Each structure stands twice: as C-alpha cells, then as structure tokens.
Amino acid sequence: MKYVDEFRRGDVARGIAKHIAGLVDPAREYRLMEFCGGHTHAIARYGLTGLLPSNIRLIHGPGCPVCVLPIGRIDSAIELVLQHQVILCTYGDTLRVPASNRMSLYKARAEGGDVRVIYSTSDALRIARENPDRQVVFFGIGFETTTPPTAMALKTAKTEGQKNFSVFCNHVLTPPAMQHLLSAGDAVELDGFIGPSHVSTVIGSDPYQAVAKQYRKPVVIAGFEPLDVLQATAMLVEDINHGRDGVSTQFTRAVTPEGNQKARSVVMETMMLRDTFEWRGLGQVPHSALAIHPDYADFDAEQRFALPYRHVPDHKACECGAILRGQKQPSDCKVFGIVCTPDNPLGSCMVSSEGACAAHYHYGRFVKSPTQTSVEEGA
Amino acid sequence: MKMAYQRKLDLQNGKIDLTHGSGGRAMVQLIHELFADAFGNEWLAQGNDQAILPPTQGRLAIATDSHVISPLFFPGGNIGSLAVHGTVNDLAMGGAIPQYLSVGFILEEGLPLSQLAEIVRSMGEAAKAVGIAIVTGDTKVVEKGKGDGIFISTTGVGYVPDGVNLSGDQAQVGDVILVSGTMGDHGMAIMSQRQNLGFESNICSDSASLHELSAALVKHVPSLRLMRDPTRGGLATTLNEIAHQSAVGMSLSESAIPVNPSVRAACELLGLDPLYMANEGKLIAICSAEDADIALNTLQSHPLGKNAAVIGTVVEDPHQFVRVSTDFGGERLLDWLSGDMLPRIC
C-alpha cells in the first residue's frame, strides 16, 4: 500500500531502534507518555516495546475518547434511547462501554432501543431525513479530530432546518488534559510526550507550547505508523538528553503549527468551551470539553431532552483511573484478564481497541511487564 | 405429482406473501415451479416429507449451517450459493465426501420472487457443481419486518472414507500451518456493500466449495492432521479454536500470511484487521513439517489454492496462545475475536 508500507518497513524500524539504543544514556530512565490511544494501539500491534532499550518506559496516557467518557454520559445516552425513544447514531466502539447497572448501549439495543452504528455524521443526518417522525440524536464523542465533522453536521442541520436532529456533545480537548495530568498532586513523573498527530492536523502543534514550556517537557507530535512512533521516540530521547522543552513535529507530512483554519472556524462557530467536564480517571477538568453554541441550541440534545448530568463512580476494583493517569499499567490491575476482559469489560480501558488494557490484553499479555511476576492466565 | 395452477408464478414482478408459507396451493406451486425446477433430482421429485437415501459407504458425516446475511447479493455470490458452499465446506474440512443437502427457507413477506428465483437458481448451480443433490427442504414465511428478506439453513450429509481421521485436536508440536489463499476477502466484500459504508471497491467474496481442495490434501498428504475453513472470526479465531482443541500454541509469521492488497487497504481505512475477517472459500490445513512442500504444492496446483502459503508452525505453549512475529522482529498475540469487529472512532 502506497504511503502506508513505507512507514512499516522492518529494516528501517530496526535501524531506528539501533539508533535509539545508541542515543540513550544507560544511567537514566526515559519515561515517555504516549498520550493517544492510537499510539498505544500501534505500539502493542507492532510489538515496538520489544525493540526499545529497557530504560525507555512507554506510559499509556488518557488519549482514548471511549476510555475517558464517564459512566454518567453513557447513562445519558441510554436514557435518550430507552426513555426518549430516539434513534441514537453512534460510532461503533461506544456500544460496549459499561454504564450503570450493568447496562451498555449494546444492551439498550437488545431491550428494544434504536441504536445505529454509523461511520460519519452525514449518515446521522441522512437517517434524520429518512425518519421525519422520529427524533435522531448523534452521539458526538472524540477529541479535536472528530469534532469538525460534528460541527459540520450542526451547520448542515441548521441550514436545512432539520427539526428532528440533535447532537449529544461529548467532545473533549487534549491540551487541557495534558495540563491537568502534569499539575495533579499525584502526577506520575514524565520526561516527555508523544503527541497525537491527528489532533494536530486540526488544531496545529502550537496549542501544546504553553503546557510544554510551563512544565518544561518536550512534546513530539507523531503519526500513528510504527516508524512514526519510533522516530518520535528518538526525537524525544534527544530532546531529553539536551534538556530541551517545547513542541516539535515528527508528523510533518500533515501537521502545521496553526492547524486547519477552516476546521477550527466551523468548530468555533457551532461550539463553545464548557467550564468543566468530567473525564473518567481524571475527574473534573476545567475548560476541557465543548458544548453546543447557543446559536445552535435547537440542535443540542442535552437541552432538547433536558438531560441532567449525574456523576457515577467507577467500579471499586477497576484501576482505569490510575491507568489513564499513567500511574499504573494494565497488568497492575487485580481484575485485568480475570473479571475484566474484552468480552466482559469492567472498565472503559478494556473496551476500545485503543484502550491500554484492551491493547495489552489482545496483543501483549504473554509478555512480562516490569511489575508482573507471571504471565496472566485465562486466555 | 403434477398440478395445474390458474396462473404461473410471476417471477419478474411477484412478491412473497403469507400464502406461500401456508401449506396450501400457493406453497406447493412455489415448490414445484421454483425449488423443484432449480434443484431437480429423483428424491425431491417424489414429493415426500423425507428423502429415503441408499446406504452410504464409510462413516456418516453431517453438518448444518444457517445463513443470515446483508446484503443478500454481493460481488462473488449471494446467500443461496453461500448456503451451499458453507455446508459443503463444513463437511469437506472433516475429509468427508459431500453427497446430499437439505435446505430450510425462512422468507419474509414482500421478498421479490425475482430475488428468490435468483437465489434458488444459484443454489441449484452450486450444488450441481459440487455433485450433491438437494433432496429435501422446508419453506416458512414470516410477516414483513420479522425477517431480513430471506434466511437459509442447510444441512449436509456425506461420508468419510475409511482411514481418514481428521480432527481439530490433532495438531502436534512441530507441525506446519498452511492457508489456501488470501484472508478476509468475503468479510470485506460484504462490508464494502453495506449501504452506510458507501465506499467503492473491486473486492469479491471468495465464496466457493472446497471439496476438491480438501480431497486432494487428503489424497496426497499422509500426515494431514486437520483442515478448517476460517469463516466467522477469520483466521485468528479459527487458529485459537484449533490451539485450544489441540492444547498447543502457534507461532505465525505476519509477512507470510497472504492478504489481498485491496482488502488490506480497506481494513486500514476502517481500522479493522483482515485476520479477523470472514472467509468462505479458504481453508487452513495442518500437517507434519516433512509434508509441508507436498501440502503446499497440492494446494497451489488447484485454482482455489494458487495463493496458498505456509504461515507458521505449531509450538508448545501451556497458554495456548497464537503468536505472530511482526515484520519488525517484535511479537504480538493474535487473540480470539471479542464481540463484533467495530471500526475505531479515529
């Protein structure tokens, strides 16, 4: 595949790995957080950890939109489906996220709820046009990457005067989350970040400058192909060795400092910052999410259906919170692979293929991690 | 039995209605003018509630399969030919020679008769190509909204020649694992046709009967341990099943597993893994390492096996893991499929 295979060449990967091994200072540890689940997935899928020197620790971050969605928000989506009888259009991986009372959108569907998996927001609009006598709600979820299509759907719905379409907006923002992670009292010690390139194709690389400078950490915006991740690791090691902070870009093939102005303007027109938003694992994070702009209030499902937000605590045994903050690894969780599996996820990190627990379970549970004493049973 | 009907079935514009499942004259007409015509054989023509068949040789093999698929028609086949191929393959993977098929139709009120006719005709043709007879069947009609156009169940009967003993629990440490061709073609062909996906591709389903391929392996590979067709759950899930049955592990080489470039590209786009996508015309075979070349040559000398490859070996592993060495020299698990395959958000 043109433009894909070039970034998956084993000989080049081994060359970069050798280069990294020559760069690292054996006397120190390099604690790098891959912020985004896409990186976590690539690292596990291609077995990258095994190529890196043992003193480079890759720490999973909170960058999976499904993982950080709090239970209360899934409960609200289920309420829309079962109580308000809407057609809920959603991206696929939200279906299995556990909600309160052992519910999920999958189970809501089994109870008669009309939940439809879609691949783009235009599908949700089409379903609304095809079902004029039904209320259709798009479950908007994701980071800055998936926000512009939601914004375009809002604009289109307004232009068309859609009466039966609205958006349940749960879009969250990465720079405030990074800030929150670093400022927390119990923050894990980090030496640098592998930043998400798909986010930066929209917002650019500049929005990370403030946090990188404030906390004196290097951030390298990296693509999701294995060679991207390895190259970003090499760049971070060099930054750390030389005491450099600030933001640099590995993914130069699509990321600019200022991002995509058109996409940003349509988001700014249709949405606005929330004062605060709950993230699973991180708690309330100020100015970290978007709500629908008052000009588009008619298309805001939270207002149309008067959805109250209720905080629901995570399962006591679940360590998703600590894993999302980088404090623990999936294998540190007592229920990992035993009570909590991809077939029966207890926590959200086990749901999405981009979740740290699911990635570790699917691809690497035969590998002993530094904190493990034995390979997990229960294949 | 010949009956006169006031009017012939309107196979161009007619639609299935509840009378076609009522057991009355309309149903009998449907059977006579469509099913009997397409399947025609001496047992079906007798019009009895059962087919009374001559004694078979060897050991009796039986397999049943239900087919629920959307869309009903896809590049490379339709639900009718698929229903024949699926059950023939289930028999063939046990080393059986498929002989007879029974079929159950559940039709939804409103199904165009033209579609039903095309499906039934392709079933007849698929059965004829294999050399099996569709000897008995059943038809029910459900109200509109209670079906998905048509559901088809098929049960196949065949025999296993003496001396052939294949089973999922017979993989041994040191054996080689082969596949007969590219993985994921059927799953991606179906996915590309779904209305809400809306992307164009030239991917064709691999739907085919594998009885000739399996018979050739049985004939030429003395150490053949087992065969399995990697349908739902794809290669990954099927290999995990075999590893579990045989209490062994497996070690695969990612670069050795054949995948059609178009399927790989489409999977890339959707965030899916072709090794979990369904196949309907491919088989996995396991035999001793000494017979690896014979098995590979046997597969590659048949048109359905021209892209066959040795993809790995059976290893000792108390965890029964299926592992894949990546092109980078790293290693990962190829785990069971969990739930549905769902495209990632971003």
Of the candidates B60, B274, B103, the residue with the CA atom closest to the CA atom of residue B186 = B274
Average pLDDT rounded to a whole number, residues B53-77 = 94
At residue B343, the pLDDT reads: 60
For residues B131 and B192, membership in a common domain is answered with no
- Select the residue of A118, A123, A364 nearest B333 (Cβ to Cβ): A364
What string of DSSP letters covers B266-309?
Answer: HHHHHT--GGGS--SS--EEEE-GGGHHHHHHHHHTSGGGTT-E
Within this chain, do residues B135 and B210 fall inside the same structural domain, yes or no? no
- Alpha-carbon distance B253 to B249, whole Å? 14
- Residues A375, B319: C-beta atoms closer than 8 Å: yes
- Kindly state the tokens that stand for B48: 């009895």
| B239 assigned to some structural domain | yes
Contact B330 A46 (CB under 8 A): yes
* CB within 8 Å: B338 and A10: no
pTM of the model as a whole: 0.85
- Chain A residues whose CB is inside 8 A of the B346 CB are 38, 65, 142-143, 145-146, 198
- Identify whether B165 is part of a domain: no
Q: Which residues of A88-122 are buried (b: 16+ CB within 10 A; e: fewer)?
A: bbbbbbbbbbbbeeebbbbbbbeeebbbebbbbbe
Among chain B residues, CA nearest to A142? B345
Q: Per residue in B194-210, pLDDT tens? A: 756 666 678 999 999 99
CB contact under 8 A, A353 and B333: no
What is the residue type of B319?
H
Nearest CB neighbour to A363, from listed B270, B332, B339: B332
Q: In 10 A of CB A161, how many CB atoms?
A: 7
Q: State which of B107, B128, B160 marks the end of a domain.
A: B160
Contact (CB, 8 A) for A305 and A262 = no
> d(Cα A116, Cα A154) in Å, to the nearest integer?
19
Crossing angle between the packed helical segments A226-241 and A37-45, to the nearest 10 degrees: 110
* Residues above pLDDT 90, as percent of chain B: 75
Residues A228 and A250 sit within 8 Å (Cβ to Cβ)? yes
Between chains, do B264 and A145 touch, taking CB under 8 Å as contact?
Answer: no
B153 and B289 within one domain: no
Q: Which residues of A285-324 are buried (b: 16+ CB within 10 A; e: fewer)?
A: beebbbbbbeebebbbbbebbebeeeebebeeebbbbbbb
Residues from B in contact with A at Cβ < 8 Å: 196-198, 261, 264-265, 268, 270-271, 319-321, 323, 326-333, 335, 338-340, 342-346
Give the span between the Cα atoms of A343 and A276, in whole angstroms. Answer: 33
Closest Cβ–Cβ partner in A14, A145, A358 for B346: A145
> What CATH number did the domain enclosing B292 receive?
3.90.650.10
Residue B168 maps to a domain:
no
Asked if A331 and A376 count as a contact pair (C-beta separation under 8 A), the reply is yes
Would B117 be classed as within a structural domain? yes
pLDDT in tens, B296-342: 999 999 999 999 999 999 999 999 999 999 877 778 899 988 766 66
Long-range contacts (CB closer than 8 Å, 24 or more residues apart) made by A205-210: A205/A247, A205/A248, A205/A249, A205/A255, A205/A256, A205/A257, A205/A259, A206/A247, A206/A257, A206/A258, A206/A259, A207/A175, A208/A175, A208/A178, A208/A247, A209/A246, A209/A247, A210/A175
Question: B128 exposed, middle or buried (CB, 10 Å; 0-12, 13-18, 19+)?
Answer: middle
**Would residue B341 count as lying in a domain?**
no
Residue B102 in contact with residue B134, Cβ under 8 Å?
A: yes
Size of interface A-B (CB pairs under 8 A): 110
> Chain B closest CA to A142's CA: distance in Å?
7
In a domain, B342, yes or no: no
Q: Which domain holds residue B236?
A: 176-333
> For residue A97, which residues of chain B lie inside 8 Å, CB to CB?
none
Query: Do B149 and B191 reside in the same domain of the chain?
Result: no
Which residue among B196, B197, B328 places its CB closest to the CB of A46?
Answer: B328
What ipTM, to 2 d.p.?
Answer: 0.76
Q: Does residue B287 share a domain with residue B260? A: yes
Same domain, B26 and B155: yes
Tell me what pLDDT residue A9 has: 84
The answer to whether the Cβ–Cβ distance between B333 and A95 falls below 8 Å is: no
In a domain, B12, yes or no: yes
Co-location of B90 and B134 in the same domain: yes
pLDDT score for B4: 63
In chain B, the number of structural domains is: 2
Check B342 against A8: CB less than 8 A apart: no
Query: How many helices (H) and strands (E) in chain B?
Result: 10, 13
Residues in chain B: 346
Same domain, B273 and B155: no
Percent of chain B with pLDDT over 70: 94
Report the candidate in B308, B312, B98, B82 with the shortest Cα–Cα distance to residue B217.
B308
Cβ count within 10 A of residue B222: 11
Q: Which residues of A touch B320 (CB under 8 A)?
A: 379
The rounded Cα B69 to chain-centroid distance in angstroms is 12
Shortest distance, CA A243 to any CA of chain B (angstroms): 30
Cβ(A163)–Cβ(A131) below 8 Å: no
Partners of B310 in beta bridges: B178
The domain spanning residue B43 has which CATH number?
3.30.1330.10
B333 and A362 within 8 Å at the Cβ level: the answer is yes
pLDDT for the residue B2: 55
Residue that has been written with the tokens 């794809």 in this structure: B234
Contact: A226, B328; criterion CB under 8 Å: yes
Same domain? For B252 and B143 the reply is: no
The letter for the amino acid at A154 is L
For residue B345, is it within any domain? no
Q: Are residues B152 and B6 in the same domain?
A: yes
Contact B319 A366 (CB under 8 A): yes
d(CA A342, nearest CA chain B) in Å = 6
Where is the domain boundary, B135, B160, B185? B160
Regarding whether B216 and B154 lie in a shared domain, the answer is no
| Domain limit, last residue, from B109, B125, B160 | B160
In this complex, do A142 and B346 lie within 8 Å of one another by their Cβ atoms? yes
B187 contacts B264 by C-beta, under 8 angstroms: no
Min Cα distance A118 → chain B (Å) is: 7
Q: What is the pLDDT of residues B138-159, one digit of tens each?
A: 999 999 999 999 999 999 999 9
Q: With contact defined as beta carbons under 8 Å apart, do A24 and A182 qualify? A: no
What's the pLDDT band for B346 if we cut at 50, 70, 90? low
Mean pLDDT of B52-72: 94
Q: Distances from the Cα of A369 to the Cαs of A41, A353, B263, in angstroms?
A: 17, 19, 34
Please count the other Cβ atoms lying within 10 Å of the Cβ belonging to residue B62. 14
Distance from CA of B313 to the nearest CA of A (A): 18
Looking at the structure, do residues B91 and B23 belong to the same domain, yes or no? yes
pLDDT tens digit at each of 379 positions of chain A: 666 777 778 889 989 999 999 999 999 999 999 989 889 988 988 888 888 999 999 998 888 888 899 999 999 999 999 999 999 999 888 998 889 988 999 999 999 999 999 989 999 999 999 999 999 999 999 999 999 999 999 999 999 999 999 999 999 999 999 999 999 877 888 999 999 999 999 999 999 999 999 999 999 999 999 999 999 999 999 999 999 999 999 999 899 999 999 999 999 999 999 999 999 988 999 999 999 999 999 999 999 999 988 999 888 888 988 898 888 989 899 999 988 998 888 888 988 777 899 888 888 777 654 433 333 333 3
Helix axes B79-92, B113-130, angle to 10 degrees: 30
Min Cα–Cα distance to chain B from A354, Å:
8
